Amino acid sequence: MDRTKLYRRFRTLLIANRGEIACRVIRTARAMGLRTVAVYSEADRDAMHVALADEAVLLGPARARDSYLSVERLIEAARKTGAEAVHPGYGFLSENAEFAQACYDAGLVFVGPTAEMMNAMGSKSGSKALMEKAGVPLVPGYHGDAQDDTTLAKAAEKAGFPVLVKASAGGGGRGMRIVRSAAELGPAIVSAKREAKAAFGDDRMLIEKYVDNPRHIEVQIIGDSHGNLLSLFERECTLQRRHQKVIEEAPSPTLNAAQRETVCAAARKAAGAVNYVGAGTIEFVSDGKDVFFIEMNTRLQVEHPVTELITGVDLVEWQLRVAFGEALPLKQDEIKLNGHAVEARVYAENPTKNFMPSVGRISTWRLPAETGGLRIDAGYRDGDSVSPYYDAMLAKMIAWAPTRDVAIDRLNRGLEDSDVRGIVTNIPFLSALITHPKVRANAIDTGFIERELAALTSGAPAPGELELCAAVAAIVNDERRAAQGEANSPWQTFGWQPVGRRQRNFALRVGHGPEQKIALNYGSGPSTLVIGERELAFTVVPKDGGFDLTLDGVKSSVAAVIDGHELYLRTRNGRFDLHWVDPFGGETDEQTGADKIAAPLPGTVVAVLAEEGAKLEKGAPILTLEVMKMEQTLRAPYAGVLKSIKCKVGDIVQEGIELAVVEASGE
């Protein structure tokens, strides 16, 4: 095929994907001066990638088959918008040779390899045969055409148990079984074939020696249409759950320089065997010493940012330049390895409930700034919804540093400084994982997460004195912020003193645990917190995302978010989720007597429910205040006549202010 027809300059790029990868591709395409076209399903009307692109085309219903997987609708979207090229991202149709061909047939540039290259590398058996010919090391095993029981049994016997039975067409760990003895082989083949037939429409199997304590090591490669092919070092992706990567890093901490050169050379040989064009990944399994080819992915990978951070190369930019028909801008010896990068995949899922996906609206989305070596590739924003139709990956957090240890610490700090609410995320799990001593020591294999699951999901410790005090400080700080902008707000200076000394009581609990009581004393003199017998002096200095709490003479930084009654805190002891039991209870205040209709806390009047002059029963509603995002209705303290209402809807009222007067009927 004439490559000048395949690859040529274009001005408008359609991104046939969604979520973070669509956003990621749009960012670089825009920086290169291209016009970008997003596509979306009905579930993604308000998605971030749609907002970022210059144009967006509705493909169809939420179901991927009717939208992101519809070749016909994607080609039609390109035609409608005048797009000249298509970037497939990863997943969906990114490794689908028919899609690459359909783009070509429609006169579009496909940002990736040709359909022929995909076909050559698409089956594990086919690619292994190619690699064998090219002299790339393979795991001992069988990848021939004959599929009868005797051939497969002999192959397994020859490789030596344990073996892996793998679907040749497989992906995502499906159609794969570990077999530890000859007796297990027959049934394993039957069930793997059944799964492969259903998932891929192809039940051909291959047999591989199961590598003990396996590690996953892969090499990033990229080729252009002028015959240049480069490797951009390797990534280690050994931290997996159910054969899905969770944490990836570059370079691999397992390899020394000589092994690094060996694996990169093997990868170049592998890609060279098909004169590969575009970005791709050669995957190897390793026993920590040697590496064995397992498969090639003919697309950009989720974990490409770790490679970008250690090489300084924007892989999407290079993909686009290759698609323009340009030659790669660097030579192999100009690609330098600098420092270390680690990536964590942030998912909407619940690690304590078997990683069940979590769907719903994101009510808080606070991620740290991309400074100090931190990069965040996100596909969601505050207020977005996570739908049940697609992969639940929300974002990737990637940290770079000169050394692996510092990169891990930076990543952990970034995770700890993140707060996503409304849905459950795996952020605390990721923190626990990357700070695990065995991960730090690189004493891992692909089974590590499964083995350590209980320890990795055990959750936070019980809140101590610091956390209880921080919770009260967070509530007070939030109230003060709500009252800001009002002249003479009593909360503006802490220790405001209306009449004498006042006490406010708080009750907090974790989950359904016992209530823990804490009292705030304020008024004349410094404010104090009382827990049991202890009375502690404290001060609060607000800052972005929380405050500095000085407690008993020690200052510490607290990240805090309040969502209704739920408090999220991060202190030096970790993450804590607390429930504020009764924000309006326990107020002992000489000023706000039971008979007075006054604001219990600073708030906003959201409804006036009775008219002046109305006759009221005891307990009749008079007005509703919104306090701390909660509505509270103030009621008649006794039967009588509503003499006056001293506020209107929309007023921001201070604590203790009289809002209405009821004259007792005297009966």
C-alpha of 99 from chain center: 28
Within 175-194, the residues that bind ligand ADP by CB under 6 A are 176
Length of the chain counted residue by residue:
667
**CB 364, CB 420: distance < 8 Å:** yes
Nearest to 609 by CA among 633, 585, 637, 584: 633
Letters for 257-296 (x = contact with ligand ADP by CB under 6 A, - = none) are --------------------------x-x--------xx-
SS3 per-residue string spanning 559-598: EEEEECCEEEEEECCEEEEEEECCCCCCEECCCCCCCCEE
Interface segment toward ligand ADP; rule CB under 6 A; list 63-71, 207-215, 461-469, 620-628: 207-215
379 makes contact with ligand ADP (CB under 6 A): no
Describe the crossing of helices 257-272 and 124-134 by its angle, rounded to 10 degrees.
110
Judged by CB, which is closer to ligand ADP: 121, or 578?
Answer: 121
What sign does the CA torsion over 623, 626, 631, 635 have? negative
Smallest distance, ligand ADP to C-beta of residue 435, A = 22
562 makes contact with ligand ADP (CB under 6 A): no
φ/ψ of 252, rounded to 5, equals: -70, 130
Letters for 443-462 (x = contact with ligand ADP by CB under 6 A, - = none) are ---x----------------
The single residue among 164, 188, 192, 221 that binds ligand ADP, judged by CB under 6 A, is: 164
Smallest distance, ligand ADP to C-beta of residue 167, A = 8
Q: 658 — alpha (psi -120 to 50), left (phi > 0) or beta?
A: beta
Give the number of C-alpha atoms closer than 13 A to the C-alpha of residue 120, restricted to the C-beta side.
15
Interface segment toward ligand ADP; rule CB under 6 A; list 166-174, 332-340, 392-400, 613-621: 166-174
171 makes contact with ligand ADP (CB under 6 A): yes
Is residue 235 among the annotated active site residues? no
Structural tokens at position 186: 């027959």
Interface segment toward ligand ADP; rule CB under 6 A; list 28-36, 206-214, 416-424, 656-664: 206-214
Smallest distance, ligand ADP to C-beta of residue 295, A = 5
Within 295-314, the residues that bind ligand ADP by CB under 6 A are 295
The single residue among 136, 139, 415, 622 that binds ligand ADP, judged by CB under 6 A, is: 139
What sign does the CA torsion over 605, 608, 614, 615 have? negative
Q: Please give the Cα distance from 20 to 644 (Å, whole number).
A: 56
Smallest distance, ligand ADP to C-beta of residue 379, A = 22
Give the strands of the sheet with 35-41, arranged side by side.
55-60, 35-41, 12-15, 85-87, 109-110
Could you say which of 35, 215, 299, 421 is catalytic?
299
Smallest distance, ligand ADP to C-beta of residue 92, A = 16
Interface with ligand ADP: number of residues (CB under 6 A): 20
The single residue among 44, 95, 208, 655 that binds ligand ADP, judged by CB under 6 A, is: 208
Amino acid of residue 657: I
**CB 643, CB 658: distance < 8 Å:** no
> 3-class DSSP state for residue 310?
helix
162 makes contact with ligand ADP (CB under 6 A): no
Angle subtended at Cα 158 by Cα 156 and Cα 159, rounded to the nearest 5 degrees: 65
96 makes contact with ligand ADP (CB under 6 A): no
Within 209-238, the residues that bind ligand ADP by CB under 6 A are 210-211, 214, 216
Judged by CB, which is closer to ligand ADP: 214, or 278?
Answer: 214
C-alpha of 550 from chain center: 33
Angle subtended at Cα 506 by Cα 500 and Cα 509, rounded to the nearest 5 degrees: 170
> Other CB atoms closer than 10 Å to residue 423's CB: what's the count?
24
388 makes contact with ligand ADP (CB under 6 A): no
Interface segment toward ligand ADP; rule CB under 6 A; list 50-58, 162-170, 479-487, 514-522: 162-170
Smallest distance, ligand ADP to C-beta of residue 141, A = 7
Angle subtended at Cα 59 by Cα 55 and Cα 64, rounded to the nearest 5 degrees: 125
Judged by CB, which is closer to ligand ADP: 88, or 122?
Answer: 122
Angle subtended at Cα 283 by Cα 129 and Cα 339, rounded to the nearest 5 degrees: 150
Smallest distance, ligand ADP to C-beta of residue 244, A = 8
172 makes contact with ligand ADP (CB under 6 A): yes
Nearest to 508 by CA among 518, 499, 521: 518
Judged by CB, which is closer to ligand ADP: 7, or 210?
Answer: 210
Judged by CB, which is closer to ligand ADP: 211, or 628?
Answer: 211
Judged by CB, which is closer to ligand ADP: 240, or 319?
Answer: 240
Nearest to 389 by CA among 35, 68, 12: 68
Q: Write the DSSP symbol of residue 619.
A: T
Interface segment toward ligand ADP; rule CB under 6 A; list 165-173, 399-407, 570-578, 627-635: 165-173
Judged by CB, which is closer to ligand ADP: 142, or 491?
Answer: 142
205 makes contact with ligand ADP (CB under 6 A): no
Nearest to 632 by CA among 641, 640, 644, 622: 622
Judged by CB, which is closer to ligand ADP: 219, or 653?
Answer: 219
Please compute Rg for the chain using Cα positions: 31
> Other CB atoms closer than 10 Å to residue 99's CB: what's the count?
24
Judged by CB, which is closer to ligand ADP: 176, or 549?
Answer: 176
Task: Give me the active site residues, please.
Answer: 299
Chain residues in the site for ligand ADP (CB under 6 A): 139, 164, 166, 170-173, 176, 208, 210-211, 214, 216, 240, 243, 283, 285, 294-295, 446
